[in-house]
Structure 1
Amino acid sequence: MAEKAPALEVLIVDDHGVVRRGIKAYFEVLDDIEAVDEATDGQEALEKLSAMAAYGELPDVVLMDLMMPRLDGVSATAEITRLYPSVKVVILTSFGETERLHAALDNGASGYLLKDAGPAEVAGAIRAASRDEVFIDSAVAKQLARSISAPPTGIALLTHRERDVLKLVAEGRSNQEIAKELSISERTARTHVSNLLGKLNLRSRTQAALVAVRAGLLPPAT
């Protein structure tokens, strides 16, 4: 009789305790998946992986939330796949925007699930990742297909951060004020302004303000 393969070991990373407990409880009824530890954010996940690596006990898969304090899921995924290439990362998030999907996959994620996915889908994504396959939530995959068949135009070309910057430009904020508002450097603010003007094919901040009003990012002046 063939020996049973060892269970896939998973590190659960989410800043909500109820989510971690729910996932862990589901894994407990499975023979082939085991939750070996949990972390509350990306920074703690990296610390735990470092400790595991020291003992040669890295997990097979990290199940990763995206929006967390200290270190978000995309940044943590990039670090994990760089430092521990054998560890696969599956994203489990409430956010289905294609921009976030691209960011996660570009940084090495092997799967992308929404939190309304069923337990069987979560398990399926973990198993797929262990086989070097990519598993994407069906709702997000449809959205991705639509974005490919209909390339974005106008402000749809902008990232979330660039939209924030565009709104502040339209409010008449200087680069210094934008930097302070968004907790970024003035140089980064200047780069965002330059990028969004380029993407929208605009020559001035005044033109950008008009685009922001037309797009409904802020009300027209009365």
Structure 2
Amino acid sequence: MVRILVADEHALYRTGLRVVLQAALPEAEFLEAGDLDSLMRALQAERHIDLALVNLNLMGAASPSIIWDFKRASALTRYVVISTDGTFDQVLHYIAEGFHGFISTLQRDDEIVEAVREVLAGRLSIPRALTPFGSATERHRPPAVRQRRSSLQQSPFGLTPRQKDVLTLLADGLSNREIAQALHIAEPTTKIHVSGLMRVLNVRNRTEAAVIARDLIHTSAIDPQSRSKPRQRKIKPRQ
């Protein structure tokens, strides 16, 4: 059974979020924490917690580096930040430190449920409104930038099928070694593909590339179902 911990100082929001998630995930077990001490005790308990949804206010001045305290308490738990405010760069900072996602209290219930499912499935999750292709972000961009973003969505950068494969796996958070194993290619070749993708996407690091790749998949600029099949290695019969 999946165990989900909701950590928020406001009992009303904790209860509301738990009710929403419980309706969508009836098979899951839910716990609540109203302060940092009770959160840490729950993480250190004998029974494993699969996902911890932690309000930003609960972390105090130590955030986002507090993730290392969380991981020392429970290394296999996945952690998501809950907050009302946050920019794309701020959210990326949390992801880069080791958090697995960000949930805005302004998101719709179905979006929050989808985010929880994404993280439980081993992927990163960020509200689309905060990403470079998100509608809220786009409204504040100059027209020339919006036009360039639109053209990129219509034609996904002229990527080869193999580059699309790498980008899709990068969006799932796989390392270069894992991507190489999944596609049956050499790890140095994977590094070349990833470096090239980062240049094309104009991003600073793998984290930002993964987030933008996820956004491209959601906007159908990259079709996750269209990835080419891994090459099968031919085994020659012994003479």
Q: TM-score range by the shorter chain?
A: 0.5 to 0.7
Q: CA deviation at 1:30?
A: 2.6
Number of the residue aligned with 1:18: 12
Secondary structure at 2:64 match in 1: helix
1:138 counterpart = 2:128: yes
Number of the residue aligned with 2:35: 41
C-alpha distance 84-20 of structure 1, shift in aligned 2 (>3 A)? same
Secondary structure at 1:59 match in 2: coil
Of residues 76, 79, 82, the one that matches 1:86 is 76
Of residues 128, 132, 157, the one that matches 2:118 is 128
Q: CA deviation at 1:32?
A: 4.8
* Alpha carbons 1:90, 1:112 under 8 Å: kept: yes
C-alpha distance 43-72 of structure 1, shift in aligned 2 (>3 A)? farther
Alignment of 1:30-179 (within 5 A): 30-32=24-26, 34-50=28-44, 52=45, 55=46, 57-68=47-58, 74-142=64-132
1:131-169 Cα offsets, whole Å, 9 max, x none, are 21001101111389889xx9xxxxxxxxxxxxxxxxxxx
Amino acid in the other structure paired with 2:7: V
C-alpha distance 125-24 of structure 1, shift in aligned 2 (>3 A)? same
* Alpha carbons 2:6, 2:54 under 8 Å: kept: yes
* Alpha carbons 2:50, 2:120 under 8 Å: kept: yes
C-alpha distance 44-25 of structure 1, shift in aligned 2 (>3 A)? same
The 4+ residue runs of structure 1 with deviation greater than 6 A are 143-147
Kindly report the root-mean-square deviation, in angstroms, between the aligned alpha carbons of the 2 structures.
2.9
C-alpha distance 65-143 of structure 1, shift in aligned 2 (>3 A)? farther
Percent of aligned pairs with the same amino acid: 17
Unpaired segments ≥5 residues, structure 2 = 146-239
Amino acid in the other structure paired with 1:112: F
Secondary structure at 2:132 match in 1: helix
Q: Give the paired residue count.
A: 139
Q: Distance in 1 between matches of 2:34 and 2:62?
A: 11
Q: Distance in 1 between matches of 2:62 and 2:105?
A: 16
Number of the residue aligned with 2:179: none
Q: Distance in 2 between matches of 1:114 and 1:76?
A: 19
Q: Distance in 2 between matches of 1:16 and 1:86?
A: 26
Given the two structures, how large is their TM-score scaled by the length of structure 2?
Answer: 0.50
